[in-house]
Amino acid sequence: MIDKSELKTMSRKELEKLLNDVQKALASAIAKDHREAKKAASKAAAEFGFSLGEIAELASPVPAKTKRKAKAAKKPSKPVFSNPADKTQTWTGKGRQPNWYRDQITAGTAPETMRIAD
């Protein structure tokens, strides 16, 4: 086993070689564990009279994730009020009141006079 102090004295190339060796050893250990697990599973299945293939076929497949429907884009609300001074400025009556609307109300204009006729 390599000590931390030994790692500090190693060159970059030595460290890269060590890393490569460790990765190969790890891959080998994983493959060995996989083979042993498969043998153990086969043995356990055989005790009940099955093969691994038969058990895999009988296992219920994992249900596929259901696709969510994309939310339809909301239609913009129709304008309800318009500025008497500038008809291009409108407001739906929802959300924050525009400055022109607030100014008109403060000036004494009734909201019904600014309502757009349907």
Percentage with pLDDT > 70 across the chain: 94
11, pLDDT greater than 90: yes
Query: Cβ contacts of residue 97 below 8 Å, gap of 6+?
Result: 91, 105
Of 95, 100, 68, the closest CA to residue 84 belongs to 100
Model pLDDT for residues 78-111, shown as the tens digit of each residue: 999 999 999 999 999 999 999 999 999 999 999 9
In the prediction, which pLDDT does 105 show?
93
Query: What band does 60 get if pLDDT is binned at 50, 70 and 90?
Result: low
Share of the chain above pLDDT 90, in %: 65
CA-CA distances (angstroms) from residue 108 to 2, 85, 89, 94, 97? 86, 14, 19, 21, 16
Euclidean distance between CA atoms 93 and 79, whole angstroms: 7
What is the Rg, in whole angstroms, of the alpha carbon atoms belonging to the chain?
37
User: CA-CA distance, 115 to 110, in Å (whole number)?
Assistant: 9
Q: With residue 34 as reference, give the H or E element that holds it.
A: helix 12-47
8-state DSSP, 4:
H
Amino acid 69: pLDDT? 82
* Mean pLDDT computed over every residue of the chain: 89
pLDDT, position 63: 67
**Does residue 64 register a pLDDT over 80?**
no
Q: b/e per residue, 80-103, with b = 16+ CB within 10 A?
A: ebbbeeeeeebbeeeeeeeebbee
Q: Indicate the pLDDT class of residue 24, thresholds 50, 70 and 90.
A: very high
